[in-house]
Amino acid sequence: MADRNTVQKEIIHHTLCEMKNHPTAAMVYDRIHFSHPTISRSTVYRILARMAEEGKILRLDLAGCDSRYDGETMPHSHVRCRLCGAVADLPAVRVGWPAEDGGFLLEDCAVVYRGLCPACRRTE
Ligand SMILES: [Zn+2]
Ligand SMILES: [Zn+2]
């Protein structure tokens, strides 16, 4: 029998992968709470943070909103709606390194486009 932590981790990972909207931890918890009321909010937050550290999922830290989580770990870019905050996947784009590194050790670069989502375009 798998231990409780492993089972919870699988449930949380599976739920995140089903949600294609790059949810916050709160959104993942709300969804899990519906089907698995015994899993606590702190467990969901803790396991999501740990899986992101381990590289099993992605954490997107976008300016002006709570961290979003993403079950899709293949390289890809994101687009965020400037009106409703919706985040969607886009194909990966290659970004070159800048001519100057400012003394930093550059490790990676995440591309986030901004714009209007289809729903907001219709109402704009
Ligand atoms: Zn929108
Ligand atoms: Zn994504």
Q: Which residues lie near ion ligand 2 (Cβ < 5 Å)? A: 70, 72, 89
Nearest partner of 119 among 65, 64, 82, judged by Cα:
82
**Location of structure tokens 């830290």:** 61
CA of 95 to the centre of ligand 2 (A): 17
Cα(71)–Cα(51) distance, rounded to whole angstroms?
Answer: 10
pLDDT at 94: 84
Domains of the chain, each with CATH number or no CATH:
4-70 (1.10.10.10), 76-123 (3.30.1490)
Cα(88)–Cα(81) distance, rounded to whole angstroms?
Answer: 9
Per-residue model confidence as pLDDT tens for the chain (124 residues)? 568 889 999 999 999 999 999 999 999 999 999 999 999 999 999 999 999 999 999 999 887 778 999 999 988 999 999 999 999 999 998 888 899 999 999 988 888 999 999 999 999 7
Cα(44)–Cα(37) distance, rounded to whole angstroms?
Answer: 11
Cα(27)–Cα(8) distance, rounded to whole angstroms?
Answer: 16
CA of 16 to the centre of ligand 2 (A): 11
pLDDT at 1: 54
Q: Is the dihedral of CA 91, 95, 60, 54 positive or negative?
A: positive
